[in-house]
Amino acid sequence: MDLNTTAALIASGVALGLLVWTLAKIGRALIKVAEALAAAAAVVLALWLAIKVILWALRQTLMHWRTSLTVATVLAWWQWWGWVSLALTVGVFTGLLAGWRLVNLRSFDAWAGRYLRAWWLRWTVYSPKLPDWLHACGLGIKQDSTPVVLALTPLGRALGRSRRPVPAQLPRVLGVRSDASWDLVRVRVIPGQKPEDFDDAARALAAARGVARCQVRELSPNVVSIDFQRRNLLADPVSCPDLATLAGIPGQAVDLRRVWAGRTEYGQDWHIPLAGGHTLTAGETGAGKGSVMWCPLVCIAPAIRDGLVRVSGIDPKGMELAYGRKIFHRYAVTGADALTVLDELIEAMAARKAEFAGRVRTVPVTHFSYTPWCERSTAD
């Protein structure tokens, strides 16, 4: 090996050493940059997750402020005064509520029971189970999973790959109210649905809930109320106002535009307008159509007694209205008598129209008696 070859080998070794040293320096710099980027990415990811969790917590707190306030109060009590005092307080409060319920169930349910029941049913029944019921009843929207076909031309073969399954979009529970007989569940309709879809699935939802009836009410264009009937408040007859109590009421105090006619299936008072409207009652035999007529007549008894209201009755069967024959100013059974009553009513209406036309639209019954008329059909 001559001198030139030795010098070349030495120069090559030195160059290779410098290259390795340079690459090592670059590698260390890249490692530091990668570590810095990884640390920055970890910090950004942690901040993003923290912000997301905080926003979710704020959203849940605002949406469910009662539950959030209750949980915060319990935790604060536990932290400051210990679990013993918390258990004693909860026990005493539960005992007071139980005693209140035993003493006066009506006031307990009106002031406390319905709120506690609604809160309990929301978190134990409707929030966890209603989405599954809606999905089972076809009230969820799910995108079809269409396969993506890749054709390989040289071999003439095709490979299929399905898209990632997309979870079904389901209506969200907004709130739950509970009264003596019904659970009222407010649900937000998702895009692509209409309230009529829930009407079609009402029977299936009732079966899923295990109740006899379910009905749907439209609260707004994108919010419906799914009402589940836990028990029927109309199974027993509702008592009519006592005549002895009505005897002390003056006739002028009777509001003919809001006459009590019974109670609704929601347990609320039902009022119907006798003045300025018409009421048609239909139902099968024994359904209680007569009660819809007699109850308002009983409630306006003071006005009938004072001559402020004069009732006319047409009873083709001669049986339905005969019980109160004396309260009717005009009464007809036969067809000829019915025509006579109707002619008299038309004449009275024409006379009042000629007197008041162009002057007034509403006339107080204290000046001119109000004249409703009742008719019982023979199709029973």
Residue 253: which domain range?
243-375
Q: Is residue 313 part of a domain?
A: yes
DSSP state of 169: B
Q: Is residue 124 part of a domain?
A: no
Q: Is residue 300 part of a domain?
A: yes
Q: 153 or 114: which carries more pLDDT confidence? A: 114
Q: Is residue 295 part of a domain?
A: yes
Residue 152 confidence class, pLDDT cut points 50, 70, 90: low
The token duo for 296 is 């308002």
Work out whether strand 269-272 and strand 259-263 pair parallel, antiparallel, or are unpaired.
antiparallel
Separation between Cα atoms, residue 162 and residue 153, nearest integer Å: 20
Q: Is residue 165 part of a domain?
A: no
State pLDDT tens for residues 226-254.
Answer: 999 988 888 888 888 888 888 888 888 88
- Which pLDDT value is given to residue 208? 94
Closest CA to 139 of 53, 71, 226, 61: 226
Closest CA to 227 of 211, 240, 238, 241: 211
Separation between Cα atoms, residue 292 and residue 260, nearest integer Å: 10
Region 154-181 average pLDDT: 71
Separation between Cα atoms, residue 200 and residue 202, nearest integer Å: 6
Q: For residue 149, is pLDDT > 70?
A: no
Q: Is residue 278 part of a domain?
A: yes
State pLDDT tens for residues 5-18.
Answer: 777 777 788 788 88
Residue 323 confidence class, pLDDT cut points 50, 70, 90: confident
Q: Is residue 6 part of a domain?
A: no
Candidate ranges 124-138, 147-161, 244-258, 323-337; pick with highest mean pLDDT: 124-138
Residues in the chain: 380
Q: Is residue 115 part of a domain?
A: no
pTM greater than 0.75 (yes/no): no
- How many domains are there within the chain? 1
